[in-house]
Each structure stands twice: as C-alpha cells, then as structure tokens.
Amino acid sequence: MAVKTAGEAQPYTPEQLQSVRETLKSPRRLKTEVLAGLVVALALIPEAIAFSIIAGVDPRLGLFASFTMAVTIAFVGGRPAMISAATGAIALVIAPLVKSHGVDYFIAAVILGGIFQIVLGLSGVAKLMRFIPRSVMVGFVNALAILIFMSQVPELLGVPWLVYPLVALALVIVFGLPKLTNAVPAPLVAIVVLTLVTVLASIAVPTVGDKGELPDSLPSLFIPNVPFTMETLNIILPFGLAVAFVGLLESLMTAKLVDDITDTRSHKTREAWGQGVANIVTGFTGGMGGCAMIGQTMINVKASGARTRISTFLAGVFLLILVVALGGVVSVIPMAALVAVMIFVSWATFDWHSIHPRTLKMMPRSETMVMVATVIVTVATHNLAIGVGVGVLVAMVLFARRVAHFVTVKRTVTATDGHETATYVVDGELFFASSNDLYTQFEYALDPEHVVIDMHASHLWDASTIAALDAITEKYRNHGKDVKIIGLNEASTTMRERLGGKLGAGH
C-alpha cells in the first residue's frame, strides 16, 4: 500500500520509505529521520547510564556501547529504523560476571557473545522465529510495555513535588501535539520545553546529570586483559551464550514488531549476524554490549515516524556528540521529560486491543492463556528469554492437547460370505499426544477374527505413533486375530517400514 507523506507530491510504498537514497532526496523525510535520531539519542542517555549501573560498570561503558551499537547496526543490520544499544536484558545476564571477575572478563564475554551471534545467524537460527505464536508475540509486547512503565516508577518516588506537574505537562505535549501537527516529534518538543522551564525558572528537580558522570573523550580500542586459556573460556562461556541468546531473542522479536508496524519485511538472518558484529565492535571499543531496544525503537518508528537506517545511525552520532561535546547542556535535561516520553512509549507499545472485552470473548481461551503466561513470567523475572520460552512451551502443550482431541476412530462390522470383519477408520493427525490414546480405541476381545485399520484420513508424525501401531497389532495377534493396516500415505508408509517392529510393542 502506498503512503503519501505530508507535503509530498507522490505516494510512497512502505518499502520506498525505507530507502536511504530516496530519503536523502526528500528534505521533509530527511528532517523526520534527523529529528527522530536526536530524540532517540536524548532518550538513550539516561537509559544507558541506568543499565551500566545495573551491570555494575562505569556509565561510560553503557554510553559507548549505545554509540557503537547504533552506528554499527545501521550498516550491518537487517531491520531499518530499529535501534540497538546497551540494554537492561544484557546488563542483567552479565552483571554477575562483573562482580566475580571484573570488567575485562565482562568485555571478553561480550565479544564471545558477538561471535556466537554471528555463528547462530549464519546457521539460520532466525528462521526459528516462525515457531513463535502470535499470542506469545502479543504477550512479549505487552510485557515489555509494562516493564518500560515499571522502569520509570523509581523516577517518580522520593522526588520533589514539582516533578509531578512537569511530568503531567510533558505528557500533555507528547499525547496532544501529534493531534495538531507532526512537523516536529512531540517527544523532542517535550524535552526542550521542560528543559527551558526548569532552567529559566531555576526549578531544582532530578536531571540527567544526576544519573552519572558523562564521558569527555571518544571511545578507543580496548583489548580485554584476560589470559587466553581454557580456564578463561570456561568462565566466560556461559555468559557469552546468555548474551547471544538473550540479545538475539529480543532483537528478532523487536524486528518482527517493527515489520508489523511498518508493513515491511526485514532480513532476520542479516539482523542476527549483524547484532554479533555490533557486539564485537562494541566490546573492542570498551562497551558493555547490547541488542535491539523496543522502547527506543518505538520512539523512533512509532512516535517520530522514522523508517530508514539514517535515524539509527544519527541516534548513535548524536548520542556521542551530546555526551562528549554538549555534556553540560544534556546534564540539565530534567528526568521528568524523559519519564514522560517513556510512559508514552509504554502506552503506545501495549496492545490494548488484546485485552478489550470483545477480543477476550472472541479469542480462544488457550490463546489468552499463552499471552497471560508470557506477560506474567516476563514481568516477574524481568527476563525476556524466560518469558518467551515459557510462552512458547505453554503454547506447544495447549496446541498438542487440542490437536490430540481431533483424532477420531470409527468402528463398523460387516459380514461377507459368513465371515465378519471389523473396520476401524482413523481420522486425524497422529503424534505423541494423540497416539497414546489410540491404543485404547479398539475392541480387542470383542472384534471378529479379521480386523482392518484404515489410515487414509490420518498421518503418522513420529515414533510414538509407530510404537502405538505395533502395540495394537501385537495385541490383536495375542488374541489370535488377523489385523491389516491400509491407507497409509507415502510418508507414513516410509516411516513405518523404517521403524515398524523395532521400537518394542509397549505402549
């Protein structure tokens, strides 16, 4: 579907809106990308500092990571307009290593995690995204929205009372300004207005500068001072794997979300190994590593309207300029403005349609259970990998249970020339969940001497089903009855010929 941007004579398709070349030719679209990058950079600063504190490292490591991740992924990533930087997810999984072995081992684990991500990306791990159900994706999005909001709550506790009217003013701007004009991103207006108000009125409220000292120099080459031994590898290996898997999961899930918002498709495999390259670059420049950030990505894509790699690249560049060259200006930005922006992001991220009474009434109960399980576990653990993993597991169990009940067995008895034959027609998909009950669906003692099992309306999926058929035929033979299985399709026949009689007749 073509999209006609304000002031543009020609409509653009979603794919064309992602083109860097076309955007550079359009002053209006380029302005959108530039301002979006600036807003994201401002929002990244306190987040990067906060995540550095969580990881137990100097704030400079988080800020440098956000710069190098954003700039690198702008070139090597597979999802235009997605923001990658230092994240809380990576900080949480790697913080114990900092406490036990120090920063050098920490950086070494980040580099190793990047190597793992390249290997996983090139081996096609991104294709596994197709196995994540929509209900898990909705739960992931809703959980992230809740976590984004919860992360702002500490900024509203134990603060001067003037923080609350400032936050309210900023919320009015970010929610109300888009209804009047989209010429300038509302979050940027809120940040500028609140900064001017607090500075000109000499209002003493928490500022970005209170979060930690900003760096005054550029990042440089950093080689971790660790011995290159198997002992070192054993120490950093578990953390490197955690960085790789958590980073890929959050990045690929965020990429899928942006795909839906922009009506475009991204290159997930490229994004996977691109995240690895970005983490390696980040490690060798003294950064703490990271992955895609859904909060800042939503600011960039949803709140600011960015669509290209330009905004991602500029977010990193502006971040470095702001903290190194304009640190004095950035340090006076009130946290109230950034809190309001993140609250808006939380609201915009949450899938409100998913909890509407009409939707809940229409949606299958199992789908709702999967979404709720994903939300609860993710919020409780603050770990996206665990939450999504549990959500997928619950979805698999409920799906298997539901499909298992779709198998039916119909029995008829016919007489020909005085000989009776019992015919069973099996209808449905047979796998471990459904085949376990198949054994009980036959009248072994009551059936006549000849039994036919017609499988033309079914399919054999695994060894459990082959074992169940072996058990059924063996029990009929123990009763002195002849049993014949007919109607198997080619794939099922091949599997039965390969495994039949070799798995034991147990059930």
Mean pLDDT of all residues belonging to the chain: 88
Q: Residue 423 has which token pair?
A: 């015919």
| CA dist., res. 140 & res. 391, Å (int) | 9
DSSP string spanning 76-97? Answer: H-SSTT--EE--HHHHHHHHHH
Pairing of strands 408-416, 419-430: antiparallel
Q: Is the pLDDT of residue 503 over 70?
A: no
* pLDDT surpassing 50 at residue 303: yes
> Which has the closest alpha carbon to 102: 219, 236, 291, 229?
236
Is the pLDDT assigned to residue 507 strictly greater than 60? no
Q: Three-class SS of residue 205?
A: coil
In the beta sheet, which residues pair with residue 427? 408, 457
Closest listed residue to residue 59, CA positions, set 205, 210, 206 = 210
Q: What is the pLDDT of residues 326-345, one digit of tens each?
A: 888 888 989 998 888 888 87
The rounded distance, in Å, linking the Cα atoms of 503 and 448 is 27
Please, which pLDDT band fits residue 506 given cuts at 50, 70 and 90?
A: very low
Residue 182 phi/psi, 5° resolution? Answer: -115, 15
**Per-residue pLDDT tens for 219-262?**
889 999 999 999 999 999 999 998 998 899 889 989 988 998 99
* C-alpha to C-alpha distance for 174 and 167, rounded to whole angstroms: 10
Grade residue 404 by pLDDT with cuts at 50, 70 and 90: low
Task: Dump pLDDT digits (tens) for 131-163.
Answer: 788 898 889 888 878 888 888 888 899 999 999
pTM (two decimals): 0.72
Which of 315-319, 338-342, 402-406 comes out lowest in average pLDDT?
402-406
Helices (H) and strands (E) in the chain, counts: 21, 6
pLDDT tens digits, 263-283:
999 999 999 999 999 999 999
Q: Are 182 and 171 in contact (CB under 8 A)?
A: no
CA proximity to 491, closest of 473, 472, 471, 466 = 466
In the structure, what pLDDT confidence band is assigned to residue 425 with cuts at 50, 70 and 90? very high
Q: Name the phi and psi angles at 311, rounded to 5.
A: -65, -40
